């Protein structure tokens, strides 16, 4: 098995469909020895005024968004407590407490994020950016699709600059789904190579990894996040990779790990050691 653990997973109470225990059971059935739970840690005082927030309420997953660090802690403290209880009940499995944290650069974010991390003591932190700050609001990747072409270019550029800053911050264990704009068909042109390069160099400099996120394997575009051209840069810069299924339900666990493993061998990528 190329990787007998999964660390990028989401569970019920956040935006996942299944309980931590059922995710653990599924991982065990697949022969995994370790599972990490990495629910969203997204804190921004204006998050509930964004265009996409009502959709999250309607969809039943608004719990992933917090206006304050206190609010996020109120969710994560009992969540981590539950994971600790499950460790005792599943001694054959190593269950890790992770998080997928959105990087923001508003005044005070970093300081308070570090305080929250001090309290929670997660085993690892996945860095991500699902939003771009624009015109006094936050635009989610789904909003980028509907912007006019000129604005899209600005948004993609801001996205990559944000990713490079997040990678350089030293706060994260690895970076999630690096070329996320691809989700809505954006940022695939050659012109973005220099921005991708800067993000990879920032990851190399702070000695963190990136993930091969297998949630993007689709019939129309059979590849993970990020693209081969980014993975080649990772290989050249000695940036290690980890395979992530980004599982939001039990059936997603371990998806396309074989294909991702083949990419690791073909591109001679280093893997993130835990
Ligand atoms: Zn994500
Ligand atoms: Zn995720």
Ligand nearest to the CA of 183: 1
pLDDT of 221 above 90: no
pLDDT of 165 above 80: yes
User: CA 101, 79, 122: angle at the middle one, nearest 5?
Assistant: 45
Q: Which residues contact 93 (CB under 8 A, 6 or more apart)?
A: 24, 27, 28, 32, 33, 34, 35
If one compares 231 and 274, the residue with the highest pLDDT of the two is 231
pLDDT of 158 above 90: yes
Provide mean pLDDT across the span 135-162. Answer: 96
pLDDT digit string (tens) for 62-108? 999 999 999 999 999 999 999 999 999 999 999 999 999 999 999 99
Ligand nearest to the CA of 14: 2
For residues 181 and 67, give the distance between their C-alpha atoms in angstroms, rounded to a whole number: 24
pLDDT of 274 above 70: no
What are the residues whose beta carbon lies below 5 Å from ligand 2 (ion)? 100, 246
% of the chain surpassing 90 pLDDT: 97
Name beta bridge partners: 175. Answer: 127, 210
Domain boundaries, the chain: 5-266
Q: How far is the CA of 38 from the centre of ligand 2 (A)?
A: 7
DSSP for 65-115, written as a single string:
EESSHHHHHHHHHHHHHHHHHHHHH-TTSEEEEEEEEEP--STTHHHHHHH
**What pTM, to 2 d.p., does this model score?**
0.97
pLDDT of 219 above 90: no
* 5-266: CATH, from 3.20.20.140, 3.40.630.30, 3.40.710.10, 1.10.579.10: 3.20.20.140
Provide mean pLDDT across the span 236-261. Answer: 98
Using DSSP bridges, classify how beta strands 137-140 and 241-244 pair: parallel, antiparallel or unpaired.
unpaired
Confirm if 140 and 131 have CB atoms less than 8 A apart.
yes
Using DSSP bridges, classify how beta strands 124-128 and 94-102 pair: parallel, antiparallel or unpaired.
parallel
Q: How far is the CA of 126 from the centre of ligand 2 (A)?
A: 9
The position carrying tokens 């923001």 is 104
pLDDT digit string (tens) for 50-68? 999 999 999 999 999 999 9
pLDDT of 266 above 70: yes
pLDDT of residue 1: 80
For residues 80 and 92, give the distance between their C-alpha atoms in angstroms, rounded to a whole number: 19
């Amino acid at each position: 098995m190329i990787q007998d653990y999964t660390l990028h997973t989401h569970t019920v109470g956040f935006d996942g469909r299944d309980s931590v225990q059922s995710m653990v059971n599924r991982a065990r059935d697949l022969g995994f020895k370790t599972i990490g739970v990495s629910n969203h840690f997204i804190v921004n005082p204006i998050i509930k005024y964004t265009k996409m927030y009502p959709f999250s309420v309607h969809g039943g997953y608004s719990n992933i968004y917090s206006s304050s660090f206190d609010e996020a802690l109120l969710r994560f403290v009992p969540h981590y407590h539950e994971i600790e209880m499950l460790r005792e009940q599943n001694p054959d499995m190593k269950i890790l407490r992770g998080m997928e944290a959105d990087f923001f650069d508003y005044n005070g974010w970093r300081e308070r994020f570090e305080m929250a991390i001090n309290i929670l003591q997660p085993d690892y932190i996945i860095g991500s950016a699902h939003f771009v700050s624009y015109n006094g609001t936050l635009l989610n990747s789904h909003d980028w699709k509907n912007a006019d072409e000129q604005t899209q270019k600005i948004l993609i550029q801001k996205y990559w600059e944000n990713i490079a800053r997040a990678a350089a911050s030293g706060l994260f264990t690895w970076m999630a789904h690096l070329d996320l704009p691809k989700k809505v068909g954006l940022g695939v042109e050659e012109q973005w190579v220099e921005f991708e390069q800067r993000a990879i160099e920032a990851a190399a400099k702070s000695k963190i990894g990136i993930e091969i996120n297998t949630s993007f394997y689709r019939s129309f575009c059979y590849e993970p996040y990020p693209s081969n051209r980014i993975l080649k840069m990772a290989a050249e810069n000695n940036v290690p990779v980890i395979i992530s299924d980004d599982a939001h339900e039990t059936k997603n666990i371990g998806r396309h790990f074989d294909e991702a493993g083949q990419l690791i061998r073909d591109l001679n990528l280093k893997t993130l050691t835990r």
